[in-house]
Each structure stands twice: as structure tokens, then as C-alpha cells.
A and B are shown apart, each in its own frame.
Chain A
Amino acid sequence: MLLTIDHVQKTYPGGRPVLKDVSLVLDHGQTLALTGESGSGKSTLLHLAAALDGFDGGEITLDGTPLSGLEDAGRAALRRQTLSLVFQQFNLIPSLTVAQNLSIHAQIAGRHDPEWEAHLAQHLGLGDLLDRFPENLSGGQQQRVAIGRAMATRPALLLADEPTGNLDETASATVLDLMLGLVADTGTALLLVTHSLDIAARLDRRAHLSGGQVT
């Protein structure tokens, strides 16, 4: 199993429990949509799975590595080698060009592959935008760069947090199509947080988070 979330609990500072007892599994190549109301803990769960934050109980195992015992360096290594992230806010580096943003994660992970990155750029429709800076791109274009950056490392797991949340309908559909297409082509597992049932319906499985538990 690629990702195992086993009875995980998480309480925010101040004592508000956000995840009470969450368990999930995701195998290689599978896609899973995580839905729920605002504040239900979807993004929190995704952050825990991405080793971005710690949890208070239970265990998360990623590609055989339990996350609970890892220090910052170990968590960072997992983010370099095993998974990639796509955020709602794109989170591109504003001072780097599109081409540099596309390759940055792969270079950090030591998997820089110019041919693969060029293919991704073409596939995502970024071929003519490579020398531009993020501030000169539309939201849809920026999210396509973010997806390219994430897929450039050929990750085992792609974690996407509301990737179309900031986009209009047309851009949203394009971005989703491209992302799901790339995931399918490369056999990458996908855990996608969304509040849209339509988007969730396009993935293999669906889990709904409510009251801090998967229902």
C-alpha cells in the first residue's frame, strides 16, 4: 500500500479537535477524492499525508515509512522523493520563470530530466510561456505550471488541495483534464481534496470527511 492513514487524530492549538479518528488507504496508481464541508479537516488531512504537519495520534505510513518518528530532514526527503503537491494558491516562485518553476522540484529531488519537462510543458500548453514570470500568467496557466512542477519528479503520490478552487469553469475543466490525464499516463496515485462532487465523481474512489471522521 502506498499510503496508509490509520486512526489519525489531530487537534489544533486551543484544543479544537479537527480529525478524531481517520483511517484511509491508497494504493499505487489509484485516485481518491476527499470531500467535505469547509472546516471539516480535508486540507489538514492532506497536509498530514504530505508530511507538512504532525499529528497527535494514530499513524500515517507513506511508501512503507511511518511518518510519526520522522524529523524535519526525513519529512523533507519524503516530499522530495515520494510525493508532490499542488496547492489552491499555485505557490509558484514569483522570481523564477515558468521554465525554472517547472524544473525546480525535479532539480531539488535530483531527478532533473529536461526531455520529460519539455514534454510536460508542451502537454500542459506552456511551450510559449517558458520565459515568462508567474505574475504575467493567468490563474489557469499558473496552475498548469504548478501541475507540471509536481509531475516533473514522476512522484508516486500526487496530493492536490482544491487545485481548481481559484479558477473559472473553463480553466478549471482544462486543468482537471490535464492533471487526471497525466496521473493516468504515469501511474501516479492521486489524493485530491475538493468540495465539488462533480470533480470527485471523476476519480476512482471518494471519501467524505465530516465531524472529524470519514463517513
Chain B
Amino acid sequence: MTATVIRTLLSHWRSHRLQLITLLTGIALATGLWSAVQAINTEARASYARASAQLALGQFDEIQNSDGFIPIETYVALRRDGWQVAAVLDGTLRIKGRSVRIMGVDMVSYPALPAVTEAEQSQAPPDPADILTDPGRLLMTADLAMLFDGAEGFPPVLTSTALPPDLVLTDIGVAERLLDRPGQISRLVILPDQPQGRTPLADLAPELLRSSPSAQTDTAQLTDSFHLNLAAFGLLSFAVGLFIVHGTVGLAFAQRRGIIRTLRALGVPMHRLIWLILTELVLLALIGGLIGLLIGFFLAGALLPDVAATLRGLYGAPVEGQLSLRPAWVASGLAMAVGGTLAASGHALWKLSQMPLLSGAGLQAWGNAAAHRVMGGVGLLLLVGAGLIYLSAQGLLAGFAMLGALLTGAALLLPLVLSALLAVLGRHAKGPISTWVWADMRAQLPGLSLALMALLLALAANIGVGTMVSSFRLTFLGWLDQRLTSELYFSAEDAEQAALITDWLNPQVDAILPIRNTELSHETGPLFLYGVVDDQTYREKWPLIARSPDAWDRVMQGEAILINEQLARRADLWPGDILHLTSLQSRVIAGVYSDYGNPTGQAIVSMRQLDVLAPDTPPALRFGIRLPEVRAAEMAQKLRDQFDLPTQAVIRQHALKAQSVAIFEKTFVVTSALNVLTLGVAGFAILTSLLTLWTQRLPQVAPVWALGLTRRHLAGLELLRSLLLAALTAVLALPLGLILAWVLLAVINVQAFGWRLPMFLFPGDWLRLFALTLVAAALAAALPALRLMRLPPVHLLRVFANER
């Protein structure tokens, strides 16, 4: 019996091949987009974990100094007292215009590092003494080694496969020299097996703080928000894909009611039918899921290099640009495909299981008006829920929950709203054809509503994300204009050269603005303290978003400090509050400035105060030069010639802006790609709905044809109907998209990145999207309309024959 029933159930797909393709495509697209995002996230997290393991990070307790660096004297005191600690010096070095992270470790005491072991076990192992004694060795990946090729003043390079990208590992003595930070230690790693009877840290060095691995801020924590954003977008794409599955399965089940009824009449128990249909759905989900995984793998492979570049640029996160196939990813992708398919089919399956044996075999039950009223009610509740979350909850997850409730609620309400709109518009119809078109459109809503819901979500996401990105771009460009005010920027190799250059430049330019900073620790994470000289440029241009009166005067008098928005929001510190910088030093906050693209806290004091607060701050090696713009090119060349500086050492303002904009654009490559793909999926949903529905259209169309309308005329009306429904949906998507943009800008971004952006409106983009929607709807409706135009009259006559 089972084999016969299976054959009979499967025979439906043989005669409805397009429906099968649609179903598999829906599952594949949903799984593909979701899996692509998961693959990217998994790969990135695996890179972080690999990097931590390669550098023995997050395994041991560490000691840091909230006042900045740990002096060598304190380290010596700790060692003499018996503390088993390994010194580490972290820093950043610019080489050929690119930032490279230097990690200098005490090679003798630091835990075994895979890169060192690999070098020692290589075919030509270096002499261990070479690594420890001058000039030392630099360990790095082969890719990074190419950057050092031909660069002067660096120790010999050893390549390793056991290191993160963009990181140079070396002995701490070499790092001190390269970073020009003699006697400074960033942190001390507390080794296992400490001797008994040591003096407590609080007595020996009260200024030092001990932190456990769980309290150390690592890359995975820093990038959590970015990955959560990606996951949310992946989930939205998944949901849009599932609309196709839901619609197709619903129609397929409705069409199979006759078969199910007959099989039951022939003696097949209902529970066996349900189990077999469930098995069939799982098999289809697995097939669609496998196709989706293939799509996802290639999509992720295409997007990963840009995401890796973004994560490196934004967070300094070590992500490799290559994708590897992981069993867990395959399993989770298939699980999502099966789970999603069953969730999308659950309602149809439940209705089928409740179907009385003697019920009709028609399509009435498919997407009926009563169901739409229930959906509308649920939608309204979800919208109220979204409002309540906004009023009562905070945090990134609450933000996403609000977004989810808002989008789902609006989508569920769509059929009711469209129906009401069509009823209102239909009242103004003149003439019988026009009246019929409006009435027919309402009658067709149940069958098309799922596709239109998918379109609404895709359009709203497009408008919302587009508005966010464009608002961000506009704000970012304006902000760049404020921040990058100097006409030229130059980097010196050392303090001596910097002094020579500034002396030479002084009489020739309007101002020289040193860029000098140091890293401190704050309860919210790393804090970069910058010192600035008193110059009108800062007073006029610096982008303060909150300020107290005479902010700059007070900063320059050493009374106050400016902090960036990230620090302000994380620590809830605003003008008038006190920022505790070190154990002994604190300053009143005079203003808060926007600082996009920077994940860490930052503060600005006068140059004199920087030396007071952090006397070990290295001298400035980078400078901004103010001079008339027309002299910038000439001065850049003169500077290079005079001091034999490489091209990258002197950069004009517009080149620096172009670099920043390029990084910004890369940040949103993956978002834009997912945006376009989601819209594509929604377009496909409309196409499949129209194609699967078109045979059901014949009973409505045939009588009108018999009354004297040509097939060409009817096909034109079909096209018009799709365009009108798509246009109405697009109009409704606009307010939803703008609310989405507001939530993204005012809630999600603040929680995820620590900055709030102003919202700008881009009507030109909306018009383009509206036109694109109409084109997509026209393309989707073209095939069914063409079919109708060419339909032999005998098929239309069959409608009347069946009715007899």
C-alpha cells in the first residue's frame, strides 16, 4: 500500500513540473542566502578562534595598566618577586601605506607558539639565537611577507602558515625597536604554575589590573554586532524564500485534495497519508537544501573577500578570504531547509489532516478571506508588540525582535489592506470591464497575497537598508570633510626625521598639526587618547555632536576633554560628566564628537595634557599640513624630494578621502548584495505565483472571453492587474521601509556600533526602486499573459464543458 500511495503522491509533481521546480527553487534560494551568511559568519569566527589559538590569546589571565603601558621596572619587580609572567608589546606599524599589527613577545617565557614551532621544524630551521638576538626575525604569512619585500630597516623575514593575516610576530626587543617604544610593555601574560608565597599584585603594583580570559575583549566579541547584522539579513532573505515555499506547498496541497480524498476513499488511513506527505516534504527539503547549500557556498566564496576586508578595516579582525566546507555548516543548512520547509508547510499540512473525507476537492480553502482576517489580526498584534518592545526593551536583540515583529506584522496585514484599497478604488470604476478588473483583482488577492507579502518585505528591506546606507554615506562624507581638513598628510620614519621636516615646513605652511596618540585602558575597553595643538582648524571643523560652552578653550587650557560618540554611548558620559582616565587622573567632558568607522573609544586633550596624562606617549610621526589647496601638489613633491620620502609617506587630502570612501563602500558590499538578491527572490515569488495561478484563472477569464473580449485584450488586462498590485504593494512598502530605516539608524546602529546617524530621505532612489518593481512585475506577468494570448480557444471552451 505504501509504495502505491508514494507513487500516487509523487505523480502530482510529474504533471506539475513547474510547481516542483518552484518549490525546489524556493527552498534552494531560502537556504542558499541563509547558508551564505552562515558560511561567512562561521568562517570569520573560525578565523578569530584560529588566530587566538595561534597567538595563545584568551587562554591565560593577563595584567594590564589602566594608565597605559607597564614600565619595564614594574615587570622586573614582578619577576624578582617570583611572578611567572611573559611580556607582550602590541602596536601598529605602517608599511607601504598599509597598517600591520606587530606583536612582540618575550620568546623565552611566552607559551609555545605554533608559528615558532613550525619554523623550528621546517627544512631550514633558523638558529634560535637568531630570533632572540639583534637584528632578530619577523614571522608572518607568505602574503604579508611580499609587503616587506624590498623594505629597508627590517630584520629578515620567516614565513609561517600558523599566523593570522596582517600580523607580524617577533621578539619583544625587536618590537620595541620597530615601534620605537623602548622599555614599554602592553600586557603581561600570567603563566600557569605560579610559585607559592608571591606578594599580592595589589601590594606590589596597585596600578595594575588582572583580568581573566573571559573578561578580555576579544575580536569575536568586538565583531558580534557585525555578524548579528549579517545573520538578521540572512534570516530576512530566508523568510522571503520561505514565502515561495509556503505559497507553492499551499497550492500543491489544495490541488491534491482530490487525490487525498480518493486515496482515503480507497482505504488509505489519514495518518499514513500525513506521514508519507511529511516524508515527501522532508525529501524535497533535503534536495532543495542541497542545491541551496551549493548556491550558498559559491555566494559566500564570492562575498567573503569583501567581508574579510571590511572586518579587517573596521575591527582589525584577522579573517582569511578563503572559504572551507565545514560539516557543521552543511548540517545546519540542511536543518534550516527542512525546518523552514516544514514550518512553511505546517499550516497546509494541518489543514489537510483536518480535512473531512467528504469535503470538496476545489481550491476554495487555499488562501481564503477568513484566513486573511485571522492573519490580519495576528499582524496587528505583532505591530502592537513591536511598539511595546520599542517602549520597554533595550539592546540589540530587542532591536531585532522589534524589526521582526514590525516586518512580519506588516506583511500579515498586507492582504487585508490591499483588499480594502482595491474595494475603495473599485468604487470609482466606470464601465463593465473596469468594474470587472477591480473585482477580479480582489478575487485574485488570496492566491497572490503570499508573493505580494514577499515583495513587500523585500521592498521595505531595500528602502530601509538603502536609506540607512545612503544616510550613512552622506553623513560619512560630510564627516570626512570635517575630519580630514589638512591639505597634506605626511609620515616620518622617526622622531628625528619628523623634527627635521617640521622645521623645514614651518616657514612655508599655515600650520602643522601633529597626530599623536597613546593607548589607555578604560572600563569599556581600549581607549585611544589623542593630543592636539591649539589651532583654528579644530575649533572650526571638528564634528562635535554635543558640547558645553567654550569647549575648545577649556580643552586647550587643560581643564577638559573631548570624547568620541562610541565612548559616550557605551559609558553614558556626556558634556559635564567626568571621564576617569587613569587611577589618578580624570577630566570633565567638554564635548562629544562623531567618529564613524571606529569601534573603540577615543578622547582628545591638548598636547600638553597628553604629556601630563601619559608621559610615555611616543612622539608624533604623522602630521597634517595646512596650506592653500593650490600649493598642495607642489608641496607634496617638494617634501618627497627634499627628504627622499616614498610616495606613500606624503598623501594629499583627496587621496586619503578616496581611501576612506573605498573602505566605506566595501563595508556595505555584502549588505547591498543581499539586498539585491532578496529583491530578486521576491520577483521570482511573483513570477511563480502568477505561473502557478494562471491555470486557475481560466474559469474567470473564459466567460469574459465568451462575452466578446479578445485574448489579446484579456492578456493586456492580466498584465495591468499585476502591475497595479505590484505598484500598490510598492506604495505600501515605502512607509514600512522608512520605519525600518529609522529603526536601523536610531536603534540597531546605536546598539551595534555605538553611533547614531541622522536620517536623510532619497526620493530619487524610491522612484528607481518603484520603476524596478514595475519592470519585475511586468516581466513576471509577461509569460502568463503571453500564454493566455496564445491559448487555443479549445482550452477556454473546456471550462464550460467542465461546468456542465
Binding site for B on A (CB under 8 A): 47, 50, 52-53, 72-73, 76-81, 85, 87, 91-96, 100, 104-105, 107-110, 133
Contact = CB atoms under 8 A, between A and B. Distances in A.
B5 A108 contact: yes
B798 to A, nearest CB: 9
Given A50-B265, A77-B267, A108-B267, A91 B12 contact: no
B64 to A, nearest CB: 70
Given A77-B267, A79-B266, A110 B1 contact: yes
B267 A91 contact: no
B791 to A, nearest CB: 16
A108 B11 contact: no
Interface string B247-286: 0000000000011011111111111000000000000000
Contact of B271 (A52, A72, A94): A72
A95 B12 contact: yes
A91 B262 contact: yes
A133 B15 CA distance: 10
Nearest to B5: A108
Given A95-B259, A96-B8, A72 B267 contact: no
Contacts of A100: 7-8, 11
* Most central of A72, A76, A105 by chain B CB within 10 Å: A76
Contacts of A91: 258, 261-262, 265
Given A77-B269, A96-B7, A110-B1, 9 more contacts: A72-B271, A76-B267, A80-B267, A91-B261, A93-B263, A100-B11, A109-B1, A109-B266, A109-B267
Contacts of A72: 269-271
B80 interface: no
B269 A93 contact: no
B269 A53 contact: no
Contact of B263 (A77, A108, A110, A133): A108
B358 interface: yes
A53 B11 contact: no
Interface string B1-14: 10111011001101
B139 to A, nearest CB: 66
A91 B261 CA distance: 9
B263 A79 contact: no
B357 interface: yes
A73 B268 CA distance: 8
* Across the A-B interface, the 3 shortest Cβ-Cβ residue pairs: A80-B267, A95-B11, A79-B267
A108 B266 contact: yes
B258 to A, nearest CB: 7
B271 A108 contact: no
Interface string B75-107: 000000000000000000000000000000000
7 contacts: A72-B269, A72-B270, A72-B271, A76-B268, A85-B266, A95-B15, A96-B8
A104 B4 contact: yes
Contacts of A133: 15
B4 A47 contact: no
Contacts of A108: 1, 4-5, 263, 266-268
Contact of A76 (B4, B261, B264, B358): B264
Given A72-B271, A95-B259, A104 B265 contact: no
Given A93-B11, A95-B14, A53 B358 contact: yes
A79 B262 contact: no
Contacts of B15: 94-95, 133
A104 B14 contact: no
A78 B16 CA distance: 32
Contact of A79 (B12, B261, B265, B358): B265
B11 A47 contact: no
* Most central of B3, B4, B264 by chain A CB within 10 Å: B4
A93 B262 CA distance: 8
Task: Give the dominant DSSP class at B's interface.
Answer: helix
Contacts of B4: 104, 107-108
Contacts of B268: 76, 80, 108
Interface of B: 1, 3-5, 7-8, 11-12, 14-16, 258-259, 261-271, 357-358
Contacts of A85: 265-266
A79 B266 CA distance: 6
A92 B358 CA distance: 15
Contacts of A77: 267, 269
A100 B5 CA distance: 11
B269 A76 contact: yes
A17 B262 CA distance: 27
B285 to A, nearest CB: 21
A195 B268 CA distance: 30
A96 B15 CA distance: 9
Contacts of A80: 1, 266-268
A138 B355 CA distance: 29
B695 to A, nearest CB: 12
Nearest to B267: A80
Contacts of B271: 72-73
B293 to A, nearest CB: 30
B254 to A, nearest CB: 14
A77 B5 CA distance: 15
Contact of A52 (B5, B269, B357): B357
A93 B8 contact: yes
A100 B268 CA distance: 16
A105 B5 CA distance: 10
A110 B268 CA distance: 12
A87 B12 CA distance: 21
Contacts of B14: 95
* Most central of B3, B259, B263, B357 by chain A CB within 10 Å: B357
Contacts of A76: 264, 267-270
Nearest to A77: B267
Nearest to B3: A107
Contacts of B357: 52-53
A108 B272 CA distance: 12
B267 A81 contact: yes
Contacts of B5: 108
Contacts of B258: 91, 94
Contacts of B8: 93, 95-96, 100, 104
Contacts of A78: 267
A95 B259 CA distance: 9
* Most central of B3, B4, B15, B266 by chain A CB within 10 Å: B266
B358 A52 contact: yes
Contacts of B270: 72, 76
A83 B338 CA distance: 39
A80 B259 CA distance: 16
B11 A104 contact: no
A19 B291 CA distance: 56
A81 to B, nearest CB: 7
B5 to A, nearest CB: 7
Nearest to A159: B265
A22 B246 CA distance: 46
B259 A93 contact: yes
A121 B796 CA distance: 32
A107 B267 contact: no
Contacts of B261: 91
Nearest to B13: A95
A72 B267 CA distance: 10
* Most central of A50, A105, A109 by chain B CB within 10 Å: A105
Contacts of B262: 91-93
